Structure 1
Amino acid sequence: MEAFLATNPYFSAGFGLIGVGAGLAVLRNGGMQIATIARRRLLVTVEIPSKDPSYAWFLKWASTATASNREHSTSLLANLLRSNQLSVETSFRTRETGKSLASFALVPAPGRHFVQHKGAWLLIERAREKSMLDLKTGTPWETVTVSALARDRQLVIDILEDAKSAALAEEEGKTVVYTSYGPEWRPFGAPRRRRDIGSVVLDDGISDHLVSDVEAFLANGKWYHERGIPYRRGYLLYGPPGSGKTSFIQSLAGHLDYNICVMNLSERGMTDDRLAHLLANAPPRSLILLEDIDAAFTKHRDQAKEGFQSMVTFSGLLNALDGVAASEERLVFMTTNHISRLDPALIRPGRADVKVKIDNSSDSQTRNMFLRFYPNATADVANAFVNAVKPVSGNACDRVSPASLQGHFVLHRDDPEGALRNVSMLTSPQSEFEETSSHQ
């Protein structure tokens, strides 16, 4: 039998094929292992997932890096622009002057890109998983992978540092306004220029009192912890519309070098759990702003008639502000035009520790605003303007709002006498409009 198998040409050929196949399999696996080992030894790879903040930083940096040096072969941007695989990212923003600007940037499209940067070759791979979504945003899951030779490890780190520095430089000296997007916070528009604390003129002592209270809270975290007091503080600013509540919060954020997280309780899809999660995971160095807190649950009832109701309950709001799961190291500002409509449970200490009324403009406030807009005006003109806008009744509710004063001063910029001469536009705007219309 053995002799037969040895002399059988079919068996010999089959055995030979098996041997060749096994040899090729060993070589293939060995080659793959060698390639894997070589890749690990010779290359350094950094993966940046789309949920990480550095993902947006890197793509933006890649679209602007050394833009003034495009003709040089060492420019990363110049090499990317030579690629046949690019994506367009468009940004639209409105300046403080009201002018709208739209711009676009070219970034690496999904795929592989070999580029040369500072004399080193990099492999930039952008992958998009069409079958996998980011559960937080509903967008396709993406990653960017940057590979370089192991000897260029520091270059990859420098690129990430440059991208971070460029992103933070855009926010330096500015206030970032965040809004909720699903269960996370996202910047709303471009960073805004910081507002000087002195640009919002409140009645005597109010601004100083609030600023000193916030600064004392931020400087005494250890004192709270040693006494077992939750390290969070709530502020309620109440008063008529246009009195400067929101404007002061914006200026306070700029003064503290903080950002602002605007919370909309009436947002569609908002739930108690999502509210608590957002409050507990606010970006660092941020004030949380709940505007028109009295109207939130009224809007809920109106929205229910239209078929899309926010599911935040009053008890859910109370627990998020001061419940067992409430976060610490947090500053919350609430504003309202009607404090009488608020439930006492919402404005008790622990939820609203400091309650300050910001009213219509007092005599002192009107004078300070006038002199701020017209620093060269004489004291007589300023006093005459104050007396002209002073209500005959003497009631605070009949006073002019700071917002109306500001609009009047802007209308008569650089003309204090004109502001005084046309003061009737402030005291009786309706009759002034009717008189103007009758002449047309």
Structure 2
Amino acid sequence: MGVGVGLTMLRKVLAVSTVALQRRMLVSLEINNKDPAYDWFLAWMSHHTANVSATGSKLRSAAPWFRSHQLSVQTALQQRQNGSSSVFFKLVAGPGIHWLRYRGAWMQVKRERETRSQQLMSGVPWETVTLTALSRDREIFPRLLSEARDMAMRGQEGKLVIHTPWSIEWKPFGQPRRKRPLKSVVLDDGIAEKVEADVKAFLGRRKWYEDRGIPYRRGYLLHGPPGSGKSSFIQALAGSLSYDICLLNLAERGLADDKLIHLLSNTPERSFVLIEDVDAAFNKRVQTTADGYQSSVTFSGFLNALDGVASGEERVVFLTTNHPERLDPALIRPGRVDLAVLLDDASPNQARRLFVQFYGTEDGSSEGWEKLDETELNRLAAEFAEVVEREIKLGRRISMAALQGLFIRSSAAEAVKGVRTLFVQREP
């Protein structure tokens, strides 16, 4: 009996001592799959898994080393418009226990998946990754996460991410797009500079707004005929400022006032909210799609989401429309639309600048067509601008999109001869 009691007490002492030693000597970091760092870390481990597979399992102190016998596959399917597709496979650490050596420190990586519990909106099972290392090595966690983040961000350098609503959350839509240079969108003199300067001034005056109790948000309305470059300019401006775009369609099924307010109050950081053709959304304050579906978003709900008690701050909203006269005055009042800018049809100056941009390069040569020296390029550009000016004086118009389409398929001389056929009569 004495021996049994002694063994029981010894087991309890060992258990308590083990827990105490673990608390004192070990440190754990938990990352759940709702956190962006979760995907960054798995991608980082996948990268080093591929390196170990390619170079063998030779242990090198300078490089991370990862060993796992439980892997999961992530398949990426890329479908193209012409019907072709590409499939890519990526091996990541599966559920279970793995071992990682990073900067000379060993750590245990435990990935757990809760199959009986799923995220309410997406239906994805809850998952966690727990990193456990010696307490003296706790400083490696921020370094590791920073390295994983930097590796993920390198893949998006020079790229623009488009976000769309997924229930009440914003999700990236498609692959990141290449940023468009701001100078590639040719607007009339001073317009691009005016909008860019206003946006930059707003982004740099957060404390000024806070000190005066003004909601820190800004609204812009770009209006003008189709093809004048409204959406292209917003995309280029976002890229130049390293911002993303949250594209919001007010006619989306399932979108109601409460979800709209939540989306606009929880936009991703460094993002512009873009709502295109806002005049069509509330032409008669009722929004109906072609198949008869009527949106649940009301006009008053939209106004409250933009500038109401429940609306969020730290937000930049861009609205576009082809018919500003159809907009309700309540929508375009100051506080909801702080700056309205007209992007009109092509002017002679715009036409000349776009001509030079397409047919001239920095070394004075024409790329894709016959080479033009600077003198010939300027002569043709001036002749092209004169043709555009004459047609405009006759009451005709042409969009910048039509000019761009002409330049893509024509040489410089052909563009000068064929531009007259693209003009249309201006509506009274």
- Normalising by the smaller structure, the TM-score range is 0.7 to 0.9
**Superposition pairs of residues 16-415 of structure 1, within 5 angstroms:** 26-65=9-48, 67-68=50-51, 70-74=55-59, 79-80=66-67, 83-92=68-77, 102-297=87-282, 300-302=287-289, 305-306=292-293, 309-375=294-360, 376=364, 377-389=376-388, 392=391, 394=393, 398-412=396-410, 415=411
Tell me by how many angstroms 1:392 deviates.
Answer: 4.1
Q: 1:349 to 1:134 in 2, by over 3 A?
A: same
Report the AA paired with residue 204 of structure 1.
Answer: D
Matched, 1:417 2:413: yes
Report the AA paired with residue 383 of structure 1.
Answer: A
* In 2, Cα distance between equivalents of 1:419 and 1:99: 34
* In 2, Cα distance between equivalents of 1:77 and 1:312: 51
Higher helix residue share = 1
* In 2, Cα distance between equivalents of 1:161 and 1:99: 37
Question: Which structure 2 segments of 5+ residues have no match?
Answer: 365-375
* In 1, Cα distance between equivalents of 2:51 and 2:307: 52
Q: 1:161 to 1:378 in 2, by over 3 A?
A: closer
Kept after mapping to 1: 8 A contact 2:230/2:320: yes
* In 1, Cα distance between equivalents of 2:394 and 2:218: 32
Q: 1:336 to 1:391 in 2, by over 3 A?
A: farther
Tell me by how many angstroms 1:158 deviates.
Answer: 2.3
Secondary structure of 1:65's counterpart equals helix
Q: 1:229 to 1:174 in 2, by over 3 A?
A: same
Secondary structure of 2:143's counterpart equals helix
Kept after mapping to 1: 8 A contact 2:391/2:397: no
Q: 1:78 to 1:220 in 2, by over 3 A?
A: closer
Offset from partner CA, 1:236-284 (integer Å, 9 cap, x none): 1111221100110111112222221112222222121221122112122
Report the AA paired with residue 318 of structure 2.
Answer: F
State the TM-score, normalizing by the size of structure 2: 0.84
Q: 1:109 to 1:66 in 2, by over 3 A?
A: closer
Tell me by how many angstroms 1:55 deviates.
Answer: 0.4
Report the AA paired with residue 401 of structure 1.
Answer: S
* In 1, Cα distance between equivalents of 2:168 and 2:51: 39
Report the AA paired with residue 38 of structure 1.
Answer: L
CA RMSD of aligned residues (A): 2.9
Kept after mapping to 2: 8 A contact 1:391/1:399: no
Q: If you compute each CA radius of gyration, which structure gives the higher value, 1 or 2?
A: 1
Q: 1:358 to 1:94 in 2, by over 3 A?
A: farther
Tell me by how many angstroms 1:333 deviates.
Answer: 0.4
Tell me by how many angstroms 1:100 deviates.
Answer: 6.8
* In 1, Cα distance between equivalents of 2:251 and 2:15: 56
Q: 1:24 to 1:189 in 2, by over 3 A?
A: farther
Q: 1:93 to 1:365 in 2, by over 3 A?
A: farther
Tell me by how many angstroms 1:91 deviates.
Answer: 3.1
Secondary structure of 2:288's counterpart equals helix
Kept after mapping to 1: 8 A contact 2:74/2:91: yes
Tell me by how many angstroms 1:384 deviates.
Answer: 2.5
* In 2, Cα distance between equivalents of 1:425 and 1:63: 56
Secondary structure of 2:139's counterpart equals helix
Kept after mapping to 1: 8 A contact 2:391/2:423: no
* In 1, Cα distance between equivalents of 2:66 and 2:173: 32
Question: Which structure 1 segments of 5+ residues have no match?
Answer: 1-15, 429-440
Tell me by how many angstroms 1:391 deviates.
Answer: 7.0
Kept after mapping to 2: 8 A contact 1:231/1:329: yes
Kept after mapping to 1: 8 A contact 2:220/2:319: yes
